[in-house]
Copies of this chain bind each other. A is one copy, B any other.
Amino acid sequence: MSTTKDFGVWEGEVTTELPAKFDDGVYFIGRIHTPWKSRKECPKNARESDAVCTVELEERWAPGLKEVETCSHLVLLYWMDQSPRNLVRQVPGHYGVQRGTFALRSPARPNPIAMSVVKLIKIDGNRLSVVGLDCLDGTPLLDLKPYFASTDSVPDAVVGWHKQRG
């Protein structure tokens, strides 16, 4: 089970009762290495940083990288294991407005799975160098996928509550 560290429930936030048990399990298949050792240091979003981060895959999964080097961009799924899972409405500090968890990219969500699109720089054995992450050093990796512009890219998508910020 995850523990709550940097997070608390703030005024205006709403929690729900978690189910009694998990429905299935995840394997951590590797770790992400970044320059950021605390939440305060992390960039507010991945576009703020061009730091090269390293994804280290466990050896047992390394054969799964065949032909990944032909991809310019990847989808990374990783586990935000320091976040509470029972928040349904949140008041992010930098906005100060209550919104639903599913309208936010906050790490606090029922399944703390983060999704980032990264640019692949190179692969050395079981280590990938990528640009486009904003997570803590040591974050557990769940998955790597090829990014297909044909289905994954929607340049004119709009998040209405965020629109005024571009």
Where the two chains meet, the residues of A that have a C-beta atom closer than 8 Å to any C-beta of B are 1-2, 14, 16-19, 21-29, 45-47, 60-75, 77, 79, 81, 85, 88-89, 98-105, 109-111, 113, 115-117, 132, 140, 142-162, 166
Q: In the complex, are the beta carbons of B154 and A153 less than 8 A apart?
A: yes
Q: In the complex, are the beta carbons of B71 and A158 less than 8 A apart?
A: yes
The 8 lowest CB-CB distance pairs between A and B, nearest first, are A22-B25, A70-B160, A66-B100, A64-B101, A73-B157, A67-B103, A64-B88, A102-B144
Contact of A151 with B46 at beta-carbon distance under 8 Å, contacts A27-B19, A100-B66 already known:
yes
How far apart sit A8 and B78, CA to CA, in the bound complex (Å)?
27
Q: In the complex, are the beta carbons of A27 and B154 less than 8 A apart?
A: no
Q: In the complex, are the beta carbons of B77 and A64 less than 8 A apart?
A: no
Q: Which chain B residues lie closer than 8 Å to A25 at the CB level? A: 1, 21-26
Q: In the complex, are the beta carbons of A64 and B45 less than 8 A apart?
A: no
Contact of A18 with B24 at beta-carbon distance under 8 Å, contacts A47-B150, A157-B148, A161-B67 already known:
no
Name the distance in Å between A144's Cβ and chain B's nearest Cβ.
Answer: 4
Q: Which chain B residues lie closer than 8 Å to A100 at the CB level? A: 63-68
Q: Which chain B residues lie closer than 8 Å to A27 at the CB level? A: 18-19, 22-23, 85, 110-111
